[in-house]
Structure 1
Amino acid sequence: MRAPDHPQLSTVSLSDALGALADPTRRAVVRVLTDGREHLAGDFDLGVAQSTLSHHMKKLRQGGITHSRPDGTRCWVSLRPEFDERFPGLLRTVLGLDTEQARS
């Protein structure tokens, strides 16, 4: 498995981050990852094809939100802890707004 590209967070703009969070499937991935643990990329049961999930994982990585760690044929995914240092409270705010809209 090829090592995934992770951008330097200093090069990630707010627009990049918000673009990565704009999709409900990507927000669902982030919501799972807020438990602070690594998850296998294949463990996300979001009702999308594996190729679609891979696309969403790539967008989250490019937005500086997630880190992917290859392990043989598997890939572990986690939130980048330094993302919250770059954009304090952004994930909490976006996920909170998403939850509020779901209740309405």
Structure 2
Amino acid sequence: MREVTQPATEEIRLVEVFHALADPVRLQIVAQLADKGRDSCSAVGESIDVHRTTMSHHYRVLRESGVTWTEIEGRTRYVSLRRKDLDARFPGLLDAVLAQLT
């Protein structure tokens, strides 16, 4: 299985975070992760009506922008929000985004 690319906290850039959060499907993923915490990619995607390969693209954009963190355990990928890292880089940003989703 391929290694995943994830930026270090200090490498997270605001423009990339905004790009990642500009898509409605990715916002749904972020909202679910805010509620569930860490979960498998397949479990998060069950309630989103998007093709599996499209979901993979959305997970990649979120991961590479620094919004989410992906861990691989065997054949399963688990994803979680990088709340602590995002709050360190851009205080209040994630809370403001999540407040608009409710």
CA distance in 2, matches of 1:77, 1:9: 16
RMSD: 1.4
Q: Within the alignment, does 1:90 sit opposite 2:96 as a pair? A: no
CA distance in 2, matches of 1:60, 1:73: 20
Count of residue correspondences: 99
Structure 1 vs Structure 2: percent identity of aligned residues? 37
Query: TM-score, normalised to structure 2's length?
Result: 0.88
Tell me what 2:80 maps to. 78
Shift of 1:57: 0.4
1:14-53 matches, within 5 Å, as 14-35=14-35, 37-43=37-43, 44=45, 45-53=47-55
Stretches of structure 2 lacking an aligned partner (at least 5 in a row): none
Give 4+ residue runs of structure 1 displaced > 4 Å after superposition: none
Stretches of structure 1 lacking an aligned partner (at least 5 in a row): 100-104
Shift of 1:3: 2.3
Query: TM-score, normalised to structure 1's length?
Result: 0.86
